[in-house]
Amino acid sequence: MDGTTASGGVSAFLRRRGLMLAVIAGLVAGIVFWLTDQTTALAVTAYLVLGVVILTTAVGMVRDLLAGRWGLDVLAVIAMIATLAVGEYIAGLIIALMLTGGEALEDLAARRATRELDRLLSRAPSFAGRVDPESGEVESIALDEVAVGDTLLVRSSEILPVDGVLLSESATIDESSVTGEPIPTHFTEGDPLLSGTVNGTASFRMRATKAAADSNYASIVALVREAVDSRAPMVRLADRYAVGFTAVALLIAVLAWILSGDPVRFAEVLVVATPCPLLIAAPVAFMGGMSSAAKLNVIIKDGGVLEVLGRIRSAAFDKTGTLTEGRADVVDILPGARSEDEVLALAAAAEQYSVHVFAQPILDAAHARGLTLPEVTAADEVATNGVRATLADGTEVRVGKPSFIEEAVGPFDRPELEGGAAAVHVSVGKEHAGVLLLSDPLRPKAGETVRRLREAGVENVALVTGDVRSTAEAVAASVGITTVHAETTPQTKVEIVGGLQPRPVLMVGDGINDAPVLAAADVGIAMAGRGATVASESASAVITSNDIRRVADVAVVSRRTVSIALQSIWVGIIISVGLMLVASFGYLPAVVGALLQEVVDLVAIVFALRALGAHRGLARAKG
């Protein structure tokens, strides 16, 4: 949201508040004139105040009509004109207060509903401590002054200002606000760090790898700003009720006038027909639903996403980084000259000295088995090939590519690999010790997510991936997906998802390579994980935790939100129609009807605010 938009929103708010205060002053004066029987003063006050409100409302109404939208304000304008025509000045002033005050109530409810979103904005870091490369002194600088390559000092409990790499030996960081992982994470020198996360108890140094505007947290803040500023299409759905609601209200009012022969009856009916409940209920419910999603680490960019998600009938998933973890893991060990445990222990001993992406998974696998690693006296990493280590007894261990191992042991048979798998060979001395097979593990809750989507009404679930068919089919079978599209390109993904039936279609991907198909789907959700994909402009929503269950959770939240919005709209309609029928028989004076309509407004708001709890009953992210 730029400064112009922000200032425009503030100006509009001030104008609305000023108009509401003017109406309050007019109503108070009108009541005084009414009690003191100053009829002329009352009429002049009513005409002045209502004239301004009618004119202001009519301008916006005409603007909507020119844009092809029939607004619900039409009834309010007719009702105010009718009260002036029949001399029900106090009732007219109450309608004006209801109309202008309703906007203020909507603002208040929306601020309450967006509290969870605003929390992200308020947490955005504003400064950084830069370390002078010559003197070593730390100076506080504005966030936008941080340049790539700067050395920064992050003190205890401070928010990391930009993305970077850890320079200190270690650090413990709370990533819960970004990834949803509740347990603080331990990092060692060279590990990548995300902006927006919170340092633990010890200060550390880091090197900036991105400017503030390009960092992870800035991307999240940008998404939140879009979410807060969006106007949900459900509001337009409420506007579409205006035609029918207006027709019914005018019909009842005209019949009451004709049958009674009293024009006052026309005004009394329209006083309780004012459509504030419809105007307020939908946007408040949708902002509440967006807040509920934010509590589950899902940032929704536009309220309209909730409406579409509530009707999803097909879903497509990418594989790598979506249904799978997007990282390597040891899935099998093929022993050669040594046993499985010996192969793993030898590999882990050497990989301690490697920065390769396969090093940590191998170490994790050895630790999981409780293996004791042989002592290494020397080690060096051979770029693009592997690691060469010397054990305490002088034996050389090699871990890496087949060609690197063959330099020490000569030619050997290489295992056939299924799609998506990778082989790490291990030698000890002149022997080929064995092979570690690594693959991308399935997310633990992927199958549960697919099942819950089907239970929520999704009829067609497909896997759309660029990986080879054998791997894709194995993953799909593991999570209960029967429709598989493998070895696809970005273009064919778009074509496949575009042809899925029934509509609407949800696409879930990693938000980088899947950007075109995320944009092509009716709703695109990006799995952000550690923040690599948060900046994707193509996704409709971003899951900032590593929990794939959030896909099903946000679908449930959307359905609940749409249901609450519709319930709130219909509650307002039913109560208003009931009051109109009572008024048509002359049992509801205009002033009383106007006061009762304020109660209807409050009832609609309370109903709509239930969307703040749309996430209740869903498990919090565990990482």
Element (H, E) at 396: strand 396-400
Q: Which two tokens stand for residue 204?
A: 């550390």
Please name which of 333, 358, 328 lies closest in space to residue 343, comparing C-alpha atoms.
Answer: 333
- Specify which residues 386 forms β-bridges with: 382, 400
Do residues 545 and 180 lie in contact, with contact meaning Cβ atoms separated by under 8 Å?
Answer: yes
Please name which of 464, 455, 533 lies closest in space to residue 498, comparing C-alpha atoms.
Answer: 464
Torsion of CA 365, 371, 373, 374, to 10 degrees: -130
Please name which of 270, 341, 141, 191 lies closest in space to residue 584, comparing C-alpha atoms.
Answer: 270
Cα diameter, the chain: 112
Do residues 288 and 609 lie in contact, with contact meaning Cβ atoms separated by under 8 Å?
Answer: yes
Give backbone dihedrals phi and psi of 312, rounded to 5 degrees, phi first.
-60, 130
Query: How far apart, in whole angstroms, are the C-alpha atoms of residue 458 and residue 71?
Result: 34
Element (H, E) at 423: strand 422-428
Please name which of 217, 244, 214 lies closest in space to residue 148, comparing C-alpha atoms.
Answer: 214
Query: How far apart, in whole angstroms, are the C-alpha atoms of residue 77 and residue 92?
Result: 10
**Known catalytic residue at 341:** no
Q: In what side-by-side order are the strands of the sheet with 431-439? A: 329-335, 431-439, 422-428, 396-400, 386-391, 376-382
Do residues 151 and 166 lie in contact, with contact meaning Cβ atoms separated by under 8 Å?
Answer: no
What number of H helices and E strands is found in the chain? Answer: 20, 22
Please name which of 485, 493, 491, 487 lies closest in space to residue 509, comparing C-alpha atoms.
Answer: 493
- Residue recorded with tokens 């002049």: 44
Q: How far is CA 526 from the centre of its chain?
A: 10
* Set 318, 467, 522, 547: catalytic member: 318
Query: How far apart, in whole angstroms, are the C-alpha atoms of residue 167 and residue 171?
Result: 10
Do residues 179 and 545 lie in contact, with contact meaning Cβ atoms separated by under 8 Å?
Answer: yes
Among the residues of 125-275, which ranges form H helices?
176-179, 216-229, 233-260, 263-271
Query: How far apart, in whole angstroms, are the C-alpha atoms of residue 545 and residue 534?
Result: 11
Beta strands at 151-154 and 198-199: parallel, antiparallel or unpaired? unpaired
Give backbone dihedrals phi and psi of 36, rounded to 5 degrees, phi first.
-95, 5
Query: How far apart, in whole angstroms, are the C-alpha atoms of residue 317 and residue 315?
Result: 7
Query: How far apart, in whole angstroms, are the C-alpha atoms of residue 284 and residue 112?
Result: 9
Q: Within 10 Å of residue 532's Cβ, how many Cβ atoms? A: 18
Please name which of 450, 437, 594 lies closest in space to residue 83, comparing C-alpha atoms.
Answer: 594
Sign of the dihedral defined by the CA atoms of residues 506, 508, 514, 518, in that order = positive
Query: How far apart, in whole angstroms, are the C-alpha atoms of residue 317 and residue 500?
Result: 12
Please name which of 8, 52, 48 lies closest in space to residue 30, comparing C-alpha atoms.
Answer: 48
Do residues 319 and 570 lie in contact, with contact meaning Cβ atoms separated by under 8 Å?
Answer: no
- The catalytic residues are 318
